[in-house]
Amino acid sequence: MNYRKFIFLFILSFLLIFSNRSFSQHFLGSISAGVNLSQVDGDQVYGYNKVGLNFGPSVIIPFGKNKRWSVTLELLYSQLGSRQKNVNAKVDTVYATPPKYYDGYRLSLDYVQIPVIVHYTDKRFIAGGVGFLYGELVSVTEYEDYDDNQGFVRTNATLRGPYSRSDIEVLAEARVRAYQGLWFEVRYSYTMFPIRIREFQNQYFSNTFFNRKQYNNVITIRLVYIFKDILPDKYKKAKTQTE
């Protein structure tokens, strides 16, 4: 599946919607930017230590009584992965038998994502949403420490494998209005199907191995600006007074 086609079709649809006045009365546009705090469950590295970008445009379709409900379609560039700093002690790391000095582990997974979310907005001030997203892997780099001699080196991970090119996640989010059309948002998402199955050597019995399924586990913090947003009454009154 070609992610460039997704980008082209989304941007084309975005431009067509907002260049047509009749459509723009029923659709809203928004732009978001923030950071991902991510980890990969199942890689023997723990903590939301990988910080990456999350940004992109979206189209919002309000519906229902008083337009409190809406469906949002987004197009995002999202950086996920996993990270562990170097340590001097023997610890349980990405591999089973670490040396006395561990140079660390770093995994970067860059996706083009298309989330579809259903939102409910209460009093035009706070909103919550649930949905799914499809992600297409566009870049991957992985570094880890194999032994004292090799040190911190890049693995053979590429877009051909061993990580899956596609990622489907379930998500939930909450947002609160910061000022007029600007919202502050926190999102949590988790992979539904493994992005990789990896074999590890047993730390205590070196001649035995075990497999672990790996999943993206992500907290996203970002700002969302909605163009021509439906504002609470206090903002409408303030705007009327200034005019």
Look over the chain and give the mean of its residue pLDDT values, rounded to a whole number. Answer: 81
What confidence score (pLDDT) does residue 31 get? 93
- Position 243 confidence tier, pLDDT thresholds 50, 70, 90: very low
d(CA 227, CA 243): 19
Nearest to 52 by CA among 113, 105, 115, 108: 108
CATH class as words, domain 3-242? mainly beta
Domain definitions of the chain by residue range: 3-242
d(CA 80, CA 110): 6
Q: Is the dihedral of CA 98, 104, 108, 109 positive or negative?
A: positive
Euclidean distance between the first and the last CA atom of the chain, given in angstroms as a whole number: 50
What confidence score (pLDDT) does residue 7 get? 59
131-182 pLDDT per residue, tens: 999 999 999 999 887 655 666 788 888 888 899 999 999 999 999 999 889 9
- pLDDT at residue 1 greater than cutoff 50: no
- Please list, in sequence order, all residues whose beta carbon lies within 8 angstroms of the beta carbon of residue 97, skipping any fewer than 6 positions away: 201, 203, 206
- Please list, in sequence order, all residues whose beta carbon lies within 8 angstroms of the beta carbon of residue 135, skipping any fewer than 6 positions away: 78, 111, 112, 113, 114, 166, 167, 168, 169
Q: How much is the pTM?
A: 0.81
What confidence score (pLDDT) does residue 41 get? 92
78-128 pLDDT per residue, tens: 999 999 876 654 444 454 444 455 567 899 999 999 999 999 999 889 999
Provide mean pLDDT across the span 40-44. 87
Q: What is the percent of the chain with per-residue pLDDT over 90, rounded to a whole number?
A: 47
- pLDDT at residue 15 greater than cutoff 50: yes
Q: Which residue has the tokens 């975005």?
A: 14
48-59 pLDDT per residue, tens: 999 999 999 999
HEC profile for 97-144? Answer: CCCCCECCEEEEEEEEEEEEEEEEEECCCEEEEEEEEEEEEEEEEEEE
d(CA 221, CA 78): 12
d(CA 69, CA 72): 10
- pLDDT at residue 220 greater than cutoff 90: yes
